[in-house]
Every structure is written in C-alpha cells, then in structure tokens.
Structure 1
Amino acid sequence: MSQPQPTTPSARGPNVNATDAKRIAFAAFVGTALEWYDYFLFGMAAALVFNRLFFTDLDPSAGLMAALATFGVGFAARPIGALIFGYIGDRYGRRPALLATIVMIGCATGLIGVLPDYLAIGIAAPILLAVLRLLQGLAVGGEWGGAITIAIEHAPERQRARYAALVQIGSPVGTLISSAAFAAVLVLPAAEFDAWGWRLPFLAAFPLLGIALYIRFKVEESPVFQELLEMEDRAKVPALALFREAGGRLLVAVAAALLGVGGFYMMTTFVVSYASTVLEVDRQAVVNATLVAAVFQIFTTLIAGRVAERFGPGRMTVIGAVTTGVAAFPLFRLIDTAEPWAITIAVTIGICLITLAYAVTGTLLADLFPARLRYSGVSLGYNLAGTLSGFLPLIATALLVVDDGASWPAVLVLIGICAITALGGVAGERIRAADTRAAENAPTTKV
C-alpha cells in the first residue's frame, strides 16, 4: 500500500459559500445526468434492440450475447478515456476536460440515432455501432471523475459528501430519463419501433447536449487547481506519477467502486435481459421496474451522502456491500417468480442497497488521492472498475447455461462483487484516517 499522502486544508476543501458550492455541484450534475442518459440508453438498446437489428445473421441467443459484448466495449474504452482526460484535467484544468467529454458523448449518442441497421449496410452497421460505443466509453472515462473532482474541490470540507452525492444523482436521473424514453417508444407498434421509434431517444441527445453545455460553460475552474498552477505543482505525466506514488491507493479505489458500477448493471442490464428472454416477462414491465428503482435511488443517494458526513464514506461503502450481498439470493428469488410486481420490488431494493455504496464512491475516491493527481486517480480508479463491470452482464448471461437458465450463478457473481467492495471500503477508510492524522501533524505539506 502506498504511504499516506496528506494534503493542505485548501486542497481538501476551499472556503466557499453554500450558494457557490450548490451551483457548481448542479452544473456537474447536469453534465453527469446527460452522460449517464447516453450511456444507459445504450444498455437498454443492447438488451432490447441491437441484438435484432444489428446482429441479424446470428440466432437470438448469439445476437443477444453479441449486443451485450458491444455494450461491454464501451467499458473497455473507459480507462483510456480516464488517462486522456485525466492528463488534461490534472495538467490544464478540470473545466476544459469536462467541456470536451460532454461534447464527445453527446455527439456519439446522437449519431447512433441515425446509424443504418444491418439490413441497410450489412457488417458495417455493427462495426460503426461499436466505434460509437468506444467514443462513448472514452468520454465517460473522463466525465464522471472530472465532475466529482470539480464539485468536491469547490465544496466546504465537512460538506463534501453531500455535494458529491448531488453529482451522483446524475446516475438515477440518467437512468430515469433513458428508461422513460424507451418506455415511451415501446408503446409503438413493433414494426414502427424497429423502423424508427428506437432512434428517438438517441436523437434527443443533441438538444440535451446544448442545454448541458450552456450550464457547464458558466462553471469556474476549480480553486484547488488554480492553487496548483500558482505553486507550479503539477505532474508532467499524471498517470505515471499516479502509478508510482499511489499505486496501492488505486487498487483500493477500484475495489471500492466495483459494486456501484457492476452491481448496478447486474440489477438493470442483466435483469432486463434475463427477465425478458429467459423468464419471458413483458419487456415493458421490466423497463418500468428500472424506472421505479431510479426514483427511489435519488432519495437513497441524498440520504447516504448526508450519513457519510458523520460515519465516513468508507464505512458507508462497507454497509452497502454487506447488505447487498446478504439480500442477493432473496432478491433473485423474487425476480424468478416472473411476476412484474415482484421484479419491481427486487430491482428497487437491490438498486437502493447498492446505492448506499455508490452514493459515496466519489467522496471516498477523491480522498484517496492528492490534488495534483486527483482527476486522474478518481477517473482511472472508477473506470477500471467500470471496465471489469461492463462485461458482467455478458458473463452472467453466459453462466445461465450452467443450470438450464437458473439464476444462482449470476447471484454468485453479484456476491463476489460485494465482497471485493467491502474490502475496498475497509481499506479506504483506514487510508482516510491515516491521511487525516498526517495532515494534522504536517499542515503545511504541499497539495
């Protein structure tokens, strides 16, 4: 494990008023909501559309696997995006990196809405789909970490968790809007849905991008980064400095973030696919379950952020991991009933338990890294977890053949994720405590 790296009080949280902190956090939230809307939209389409329209030469099961693999490709690109935008964010500023990421993901998503399908252009269709998914992944690799970083660096130290939680609300809001968009077009006749209806939610990314850009242009640069400029304390190659100075912390960050990303996709993308194909539940009912869960996730995120200010984000991470692991089998027993009401309850409870850890992921990860490496550390830690998580729906789907479609192998995958994240939460909280003691003993240490 890397040695503790204390920071000055200004690096941990500048003195700003609540109005400014809320404004910055709101701007970060808007961009993150658009980011997750775009990203989650692809997950829904992978489970419900792309397997039929972009992989039509394959049998239904193979087509679904191929679509989910394309979904996972975006996660593979995320660490690369974290390196690229982490370099920009730690060398040239949080603000320019965040403007670039939001433009990239908005344009990539909108272009999916005009992409011809397999019957129109053949093999070029799934190839172009994979390319656009890669661009999404690159952008997401830098967006979330930057949004968390700039929100926390504008916030008072003792209130950082609540403002980071505001950014985290972008996830359920993005889910809510993307699920609602798909729920709306799913009421169309099947022929019209396949012909043009599914494209509308993707095309909506263009006007949403305009709104998000307008808001984000008004965000000032992080005062912590401005202090780094004045002190000329920036790493020439942040990623190399990160691995050299904080490699152990990076591993802790990956572990702590794993459930918030991987568990979420197990309870959404995998459940939508599993329930609609294996259990033959009406796909509209399963999508509606994710809508209900997203509403409850918003409130859970806000509550967890406030509680973390008292008990610490590491402890909240452990609580979320343990409770999710304990509830995993009962939740999937409900899902296996194939009753829409039971699926809705299971998905909602599962997402809320996972959110206990996810809501504080940003705060915990930001505390693990010094300001000069924070953008890179937060982004890379979170997105390495995302890379592993992106293929979990594919792995869980493949494991269904172990027992003729039974869900228990997938449940074991979820429990394994919980165990890793619990360990990450314990280690993260210990590092935070050590850094606090070190900062108190050496208050003039550079950021």
Structure 2
Amino acid sequence: MTTNESVTVTDADARKVAFGAFVGTALEWYDFFLFSAAVSLVFNTQFFTSKDIVVATAAAFATFAVGFAARPLGAVIFGHLGDRIGRRRCLIITVTMIGLVTGLIGLLPSYFSIGVAAPILLTLLRLLQGIAVGGEWGGAVTLAVEHAPIERRGRYAAMPQIGSPIGTLLSSGAFLAVGYLPKESFDSWGWRLPFLAAFPLLYIALWLRRRVEESPLFERLLEEDELASAPVREVVTKAWLQLLVGAGAAFLGIGGFYLCTAFVISYVKNTLKLPQTLALNATLVAAAVEILILVIFGRVAERVGAARVTLVGGLASALVAFPAFWLIDTKNSALLVLGVTAAVACLSIPYAVSGALLAELFPAKLRYSGIALSSNSAGVVSGFVPLLATVLLAASGGQSWSAAVLLIGIALITAFSGAIAPRVSLSEDRAVVR
C-alpha cells in the first residue's frame, strides 16, 4: 500500500466529525443498552414464563446474547461496504436500522397477548439490532480517527467511546423514571416508553449523520484506486493475528461492562433481593464517572500509547474484581454503588483507548473491516458473559466470587492483548500504538 496516513486535517474539522460520531453513537448505544436494562426488569416476566426466576432470567439473557451473536454479521456486511463505498453512507444505514428496530420493540405484544410469538419476534428484532450495531461502532471510530491529526488521535478516538456511558445514562435514566410508576402500569405500558422514544431520537441521529463528511483517507484511497477488493477476506486471511489481538483488547470494555451492569442488575434484584432502582442508580453513577475516565485516558494515550493504557487498565480491573463484589455483597446502598463504580471505572481505562488501538492495528484500506470484526468478535463472546455469570452464580450457590473470577479472566485477556499490540501493528503510522 502506497497511500500515506498523512492528510491535511484541522482540529476544527476533527472536533466536528468526532462530535457527530459521539452523538450518533450515544443514540445508538441508548437503543442497544435499553435491551440490556430490560432483560432482568421486563423481558424475564413479560416475554418468558417460568416459575423459576433464574430460568426465566437465563432465557432472557440468551435473547440478549443473540444481539451480540449477530454483530459479526453486521461487521462483515458494513465492514465490506465501509471499505468499499465509504464510512459515512454505512453509518446512516446503521443508525436508521437500530432506531426503527428499537421503536418496534416498544410496540411488541407480550407473551400473555400473543403467546410464543412474542419471544420469537423479540429475538428477531434483537437479531436485526445486533446486525446494525455490528457496523456502527467500527465506522464511527474509523471516521473519527481518519479526520483527526495523527498526534491527537487519542482524544478524538475516545469521543465515540463516550457515547457508551451517555447511552447508559439515557437508558438507565429512562427505566429509572418509568420504574417509579405503579407496578401494574410499568408492566402494562410504562416499560415501553423508553423504547418508543427511539423514534424521535432517530430523527436527531439522522440529521447529525448527514452533516458528517466522508473520511479524507477513504477519498484518497478512492482517487488512487487502492481500495481493497475484498477487505473482510483480507483481514481474515492476512491480518488474522491483528484481528485476535484487537478482539482481546476490546473484550474487557464490552464483556466486562455487561458483567458489571446487566448481570449486576439481575444479581442485585434477584439474588440480593434489593430494589431494582438501587442497581439502576449504581449504573448511572458508574456511567457518569466513566465519562471522566474516558476523557482523561484518551489524552493519556497520546503520551504513553494506547497499548500501555490497555495493559494498565486490564491489570487494574483484575485487582479490583473481588473488592468490587465484596462491596456489592454488603447490601449497603453507598458501598454497593461504590463497588459498581470502581469496577466500571477500571474497565473503562482500556475502553477509552480501544478505538485508537484497533485503528492502529490495521492499514487504512482495511480499517473499517478490521475494527468492526475485532470489536464484534469480542462482542459475540461478551454477549454470553451475563448468561455465563448467571450459570456460574447458580453453580456456586449464589456466591459472587464466581462472577469476580470471570471478571479477572476477561481483564487478563485484555491486559495481554495490550502488551503485544505494538509488535503486531500493520498501520503505516505508529503515532498511537507504542
């Protein structure tokens, strides 16, 4: 490849594109995270029937996992299109898909209305949602990175990451608000309101996405006729090591996050028998702190490198795993919130730089496909983390040490990936990976 990574970009242009990527991604994650919050609050009773709440919750988490299983398909489809027809066009398609699907979930009749068709339709919509998300994040990060000055890629690559805690705040906040409704009202129609809000939010997302310009690096590749003819195939056959390292680096930020949010919400409500609002409040506080962590470590990556930040974040998460669950198990509200916040803060350190790290593992002509496949390969496994944690919890007699051990394992995989990332990078520029 002869195309140089150097293009003329200004901070003003970079901020505009990064902000557009951030807002669009925040709305996308709001839609996707709604499902996460609803799994143990709504779907285990409205769409799955079982006298054993653990069985019903496990079935709901299995549907939750379907969205992650579908994400690699979205990565293949939109990764190919993003490296062939452009990043911007794909992002408009993905935001439209996920907005429509999320709104339709809010209109879906429950099991008590249409029987077994309800969980089947819910699973189908989750599948489509996963395909859309599979192409979203990789495109947003690619666009932000390729519009940014090389020496400041760390901060701009972190912008789409901030969409994750914002999405958590919006989705958890929405469920927290409707959670104060009487139980009968919440079960019959209240839980639907956050999903139906996806329709007006879709209009905002589309307006923002249409204002974002195409990547200058992609346009140069197009002009010089250096686009990859089969980018997904090239990533799988020629950059498989980078693919594995990228997936490992992204694992903690995705799988660890769902362990500390989706699973913990279920654990607090069903095992510790505490109010669901307490668990939601904990995720809100953790998400607010996560925003600060993302901003700080996006800047730190510009000085020490994304790989080192990933290594440190993975080790920190492993060290805090047991203390975090010990705090949760106290059943003290303040300590519970502290435990969740500490765990999310540590796993957010590598998440802050995963966009920068993955972008630097792949050359520009394969970047959309490489980032999308890496993150969504991690996403497939991550989608089953809450289900696995639930099974381990049952096997351990309801003891939280099983979840803590699982978090440590995930964290060490990410730490190892960060340690070897600089040695396997294929990017023409090493400004971020060191």
Superposition TM-score, scaled by structure 1 size: 0.94
Counterpart of 2:280 in structure 1 is 287
Which structure 2 residues correspond to residues 375-414 of structure 1 after superposition, within 5 A? 375-414=368-407
Range with bigger deviation, 238-247 or 311-320: 238-247
2:47 to 54, 58, 67: 54
**Aligned partners of 1:6 and 1:370 also within 8 Å:** no
Counterpart of 1:221 in structure 2 is 214
Counterpart of 2:352 in structure 1 is 359
**Structure 1: how far apart are the matches of 2:140 and 2:407?**
27
Corresponding letter in the other structure for 1:232: D
**Structure 1: how far apart are the matches of 2:104 and 2:353?**
33
Following superposition, the deviation at residue 327 of structure 1 comes to 0.8
The alignment status of 1:28 with 2:17, answered yes or no, reads: no
- Cα deviation code 1:6-56 (max 9, x no counterpart): 97232xxx2211111100001111110011101111000001110000012
Which structure 2 residues correspond to residues 141-290 of structure 1 after superposition, within 5 A? 141-290=134-283
Following superposition, the deviation at residue 437 of structure 1 comes to 7.6
Counterpart of 1:44 in structure 2 is 37
**Structure 1: how far apart are the matches of 2:383 and 2:81?**
25
Following superposition, the deviation at residue 403 of structure 1 comes to 2.5
Counterpart of 2:109 in structure 1 is 116
- Cα deviation code 1:234-277 (max 9, x no counterpart): 12221111112211110110111100101101110011011110
- Cα deviation code 1:76-114 (max 9, x no counterpart): 000000000001100100011100000000000000000
Corresponding letter in the other structure for 2:347: I
**Aligned partners of 2:255 and 2:383 also within 8 Å:** yes
Change in Cα spacing, 1:15 to 1:409, as seen in structure 2 (3 Å) is same
SS at match of 2:77: helix
Corresponding letter in the other structure for 2:213: E
Change in Cα spacing, 1:423 to 1:339, as seen in structure 2 (3 Å) is same
**Structure 2: how far apart are the matches of 1:246 and 1:6?**
18
Corresponding letter in the other structure for 1:228: L
Range with bigger deviation, 374-383 or 407-416: 407-416
**Structure 2: how far apart are the matches of 1:374 and 1:83?**
12
SS at match of 2:330: coil
**Aligned partners of 1:6 and 1:435 also within 8 Å:** no
Counterpart of 1:423 in structure 2 is 416
**Aligned partners of 1:304 and 1:316 also within 8 Å:** yes
Corresponding letter in the other structure for 2:40: A
SS at match of 2:322: helix
Counterpart of 2:91 in structure 1 is 98
**Structure 1: how far apart are the matches of 2:423 and 2:316?**
21
**Aligned partners of 1:281 and 1:340 also within 8 Å:** no
Counterpart of 1:136 in structure 2 is 129
Counterpart of 2:81 in structure 1 is 88
Counterpart of 2:308 in structure 1 is 315
**Structure 1: how far apart are the matches of 2:332 and 2:2?**
52
**Structure 2: how far apart are the matches of 1:436 and 1:191?**
58
Following superposition, the deviation at residue 231 of structure 1 comes to 1.1
Corresponding letter in the other structure for 2:287: A
Corresponding letter in the other structure for 2:5: P
**Structure 2: how far apart are the matches of 1:226 and 1:428?**
28
Structure 2: tracts of 5 or more residues without a match: none
**Aligned partners of 2:105 and 2:195 also within 8 Å:** yes
Percent of residue pairs bearing the same amino acid type: 55
The alignment status of 1:75 with 2:75, answered yes or no, reads: no
Counterpart of 2:327 in structure 1 is 334
Corresponding letter in the other structure for 2:160: V
- Cα deviation code 1:386-428 (max 9, x no counterpart): 1001100000010112221001111111100011111110111
2:4 to 2, 5, 8: 8
Following superposition, the deviation at residue 295 of structure 1 comes to 0.7
Change in Cα spacing, 1:434 to 1:61, as seen in structure 2 (3 Å) is closer
Change in Cα spacing, 1:290 to 1:437, as seen in structure 2 (3 Å) is closer
Corresponding letter in the other structure for 1:8: N
- Cα deviation code 1:315-339 (max 9, x no counterpart): 0000100001011001110011122
**Aligned partners of 2:25 and 2:137 also within 8 Å:** yes
SS at match of 1:8: coil
Change in Cα spacing, 1:433 to 1:303, as seen in structure 2 (3 Å) is farther
Counterpart of 2:58 in structure 1 is 65
**Structure 2: how far apart are the matches of 1:105 and 1:263?**
23
Corresponding letter in the other structure for 2:386: P
**Aligned partners of 2:3 and 2:221 also within 8 Å:** no
**Aligned partners of 1:29 and 1:166 also within 8 Å:** yes
Structure 1: tracts of 5 or more residues without a match: 439-447
**Aligned partners of 1:286 and 1:340 also within 8 Å:** no
Corresponding letter in the other structure for 2:64: F
SS at match of 1:188: coil
Counterpart of 1:442 in structure 2 is none
Counterpart of 1:374 in structure 2 is 367
Corresponding letter in the other structure for 2:344: I
**Aligned partners of 1:15 and 1:155 also within 8 Å:** no
**Aligned partners of 2:362 and 2:425 also within 8 Å:** no
2:118 to 113, 118, 125: 125
**Aligned partners of 2:363 and 2:427 also within 8 Å:** no
